[in-house]
Amino acid sequence: MSTPFYVSPQQAMADRAEYARKGIARGRSLVVLQYADGIVFVGENPSRALHKFSEIYDRIGFAAAGKYNEYENLRIGGVRYADLRGYTYDRDDVTARGLANVYAQTLGTIFSSAGEKPYEVELVVAEVGASPEGDQIYRLPHDGSIVDEHGSVAVGGNAEQISGFLDQRHRDGMSLAEALKLAVQALSSQSNGSDREIPADRLEVAVLDRTRPQQRKFKRIVGRQLARLLEADGAASTPTDAPSDEETDETGGTPGTGSPGTGTPGTSTPEAPE
């Protein structure tokens, strides 16, 4: 028997992180944005059956990029956790913070346990509040850390570039149609500067809508409603020429407010869309 090679802990962890990141990068990216009445999830997903977004509980939604079987597993675990908690205590006692914590512990344990392969997933757990200030968005990378996000967040392959794009353009108090269009622009912009068009039937869109009268705020937006929202109040701006429009908008109209970097929470009063 030969003795195994010594691998430094730093190296072992870096290798595992590299492995997980590569797996996540292979998947298509998705974005989660706050808008005036809630939180919208937008992603490119050619499949009608395998969802990237899903309802966890009344006010809590889930989004995931990476390996399907692994995030599906976590999603079902989350639904079971939330339902059990709501059943034992009360529906109000199920919170995104609690769920994000459990996910972080789970991902963290799997990531650092030598016997298990790290999960190639990046999750977003979002909870819609009674007002925009009450909205919570948590991003959970593969290694078990939690990032408290505000305004907009992107995960998946092209995440860094997309979140940069969103940070510059996302405002508080956008309408659903505006937020949706911004999300589609962000998803269709590519690293080489060129844009490709994502047809509406390849988009997966869901919202946590605080104005929904039902207890369960999660809703998928499909078919005609999606088409109507994509067309709304900007028939002229196709995804290809829209970025330039947005830039002129920003320099001309809303100086100062358009910089909700991930560090600065968007607590300023929502301004009316122009």
What is the rounded CA–CA span in Å between residue 127 and residue 39? Answer: 8
Q: Work out whether 109 is an interface residue with another protein (CB under 8 A).
A: yes
- 102 forms part of the interface with another protein (CB under 8 A): yes
Helix (H) or strand (E) holding 41: strand 38-44
Return the bridge partners of 42, or none. Answer: 31, 205
Q: Which listed range, 18-26, 70-78, 160-168, 266-274, lies at the site for another protein (CB under 8 A)? A: 70-78
Q: 3-class SS at 38?
A: strand
Please say which residue, 85 or 171, places its beta carbon nearer to another protein: 85
> Residue 98 interacts with another protein (CB under 8 A)?
yes
270 binds another protein (CB under 8 A): no
Helices (H), the chain: 9-26, 68-88, 96-112, 159-169, 176-188, 223-231, 242-252
Nearer to another protein, 165 or 218 (CB): 218
CA distances to 21, 42, 142, 187, 211 from 158, rounded to whole Å, are 11, 14, 16, 9, 32
Q: Which of 29, 34, 45, 54 binds another protein (CB under 8 A)?
A: 54
Q: Tokens 């510059």 sit at which residue?
A: 168
Closest approach of Cβ 251 to another protein, in Å? Answer: 44
Cβ nearer to another protein, comparing 63 with 184: 63
Give the chain's length.
Answer: 274
Residue from the set 29, 34, 106, 189 that interacts with another protein by CB under 8 A: 106
Output the six-digit token pair for 42: 């937008």
Q: Are 95 and 81 spatial neighbours (Cβ–Cβ below 8 Å)?
A: no
Using CB under 8 A as the binding rule, the residues of this chain from 13 to 32 that contact another protein are none
**Segment interacting with another protein, rule: CB under 8 A, options 30-38, 73-81, 194-202, 228-236:** 73-81
Rounded Cα gap, residues 34 and 15, in angstroms: 34
Instruction: State the DSSP code for 67.
Output: -
- For position 85 contacting another protein by CB under 8 A, the verdict is yes
Instruction: Name the residue nearer to another protein (CB basis): 116 or 233.
Output: 116
Residue 141, SS3?
A: coil
Q: Does 79 bind another protein (CB under 8 A)?
A: yes
Sites of contact with another protein (CB under 8 A): 49, 51, 54-56, 73-74, 76-77, 79-81, 83-88, 98, 101-103, 105-106, 108-110, 214, 216
